Amino acid sequence: MKEKNILIPGASGQIGEALALALAKDNTVTGMARFGSEAVRKRLENAGVRAVVRDLAADDLADLKDEYDVVFNQAVDWPGPPERGVDVPLAMNGYLQGRLMERCPSAIHIFGSTMSVPDNVPPLIDEETPTRRQSNTYSSTKLVGESLAVHLSRERGIKAAILRYMWPCGSRQLRVPYDALLGVVRQALQGDTFKLEPSLLCLPPDGLQTREISGSTPTPLHVDDGAALTIKAAAIAATPPEIIHVFGPQIPMSEALAEIASVFEVKVNTEIVEQSEKKLVACYNTAKMKRLLGEQTIPLRQILEQLRSYMQESGEVV
């Protein structure tokens, strides 16, 4: 993507920042957020991003002009009590998407959503498998944003795409406290014991065969790769919106821990917790994601090697 005028609400977030940094090289990029971290704002400005300080939940967007080619909405707020005069999760995760589409109807709109939206599971090989996800404030408010994206796209002919992320992790700056893969690595380095339950993983292509695994199945994806997939989504945005699932390779936890032990040269402590009945773990249709975006998933070892390099630069590991 080159020579585009781009708006990124939520540019201070994990994927939002990675998006802004990647796009600023060849485009005119405006990042909009509260910018609670001055370091993040300076990083973006040093890369050529115009940083606009704005409370996206509470502030008026009347001055927002219909001048952007693409709007990547990466703004998000976790559940909590209203602190800024509005129901913050609903305003940020839900209504903001509608406000952006109304103010910028000429743009392509990319809405960063979540795989925990109610009544949704990642694309399964077995399409008859019922949802196992429970509704919560965060996912419910994201569903509002998705619904507005679909409605306004249909009614006004706006091209859009909805990206449902699962566990984007491996933050380049190592600054995000909920960086999932980094948290697992740190637990391993400090000698924590990981308790793993035996499970059954269904196998492609039809999901009818299974194999026994130990632990859950994380789907690690480096934040830069998540940003790259998000950028590619603009090329296939449609009316009504394409719904695209973004996730990394599906890896049993026991195998992920073995890779961590190898890359970081550390002994990882595990304990198998026997259960009376093994849970069936759904398998993801990675072929669907590759068909939509033409992107190969990044091997876990490569992600971990990048992570170790960053941790060495920060002095966290030798």
Domain boundaries, the chain: 5-170+220-246, 180-218+250-284+298-313
Torsion of CA 86, 92, 95, 96, to 10 degrees: 120
Buried/exposed 25-46: b ≥16 CB within 10 Å, e otherwise: eebbbbbbbbbeeeebbebbee
Using DSSP's 3-state secondary structure scheme, residue 13 falls into coil
Q: Are 103 and 66 spatial neighbours (Cβ–Cβ below 8 Å)?
A: yes
* Element at 29 (helix H, strand E): strand 28-33
Instruction: Report the distance separating Cα 296 and Cα 249, nearest Å.
Output: 9
Q: How many CB atoms lie within 10 A of CB 282?
A: 19
Beta strand ranges found along 115-205 (DSSP E): 160-165, 193-196, 198-203
- Give this prediction's pTM: 0.82
Q: Quote the pLDDT of residue 124.
A: 45
Q: Which residues neighbour 142 within 8 Å (Cβ) at sequence distance 6 or greater?
A: 93, 94, 113, 114, 116, 117
β-strand pairing of 198-203 with 70-73: unpaired
| CATH fold for the domain made of 5-170+220-246 | Rossmann fold (3.40.50)
Written as one letter, the residue type at 82 is P
Q: At CA 115, angle to CA 102 and CA 290, rounded to 5?
A: 95
Tokens, residue 43: 């990083």
Going residue by residue through the chain (318 aa), what tens digit of pLDDT does each one get?
A: 899 999 999 999 888 999 999 999 999 999 999 998 899 999 999 999 999 999 999 899 999 999 999 999 999 987 666 677 788 889 999 999 999 999 999 999 999 988 767 555 444 444 444 444 556 788 889 999 999 999 999 999 999 999 988 766 665 555 555 567 888 899 999 999 999 988 888 776 656 678 888 888 877 777 888 888 899 999 989 999 988 878 777 788 999 999 999 999 999 999 999 877 887 776 666 666 566 555 556 788 888 888 898 889 888 888
Nearest Cα neighbor of 307 from 317, 297, 295 is 317
Report the residue count for the chain: 318
Antiparallel, parallel or unpaired: β 160-165 and 242-246? parallel
Which position has the token pair 């960086």? 179
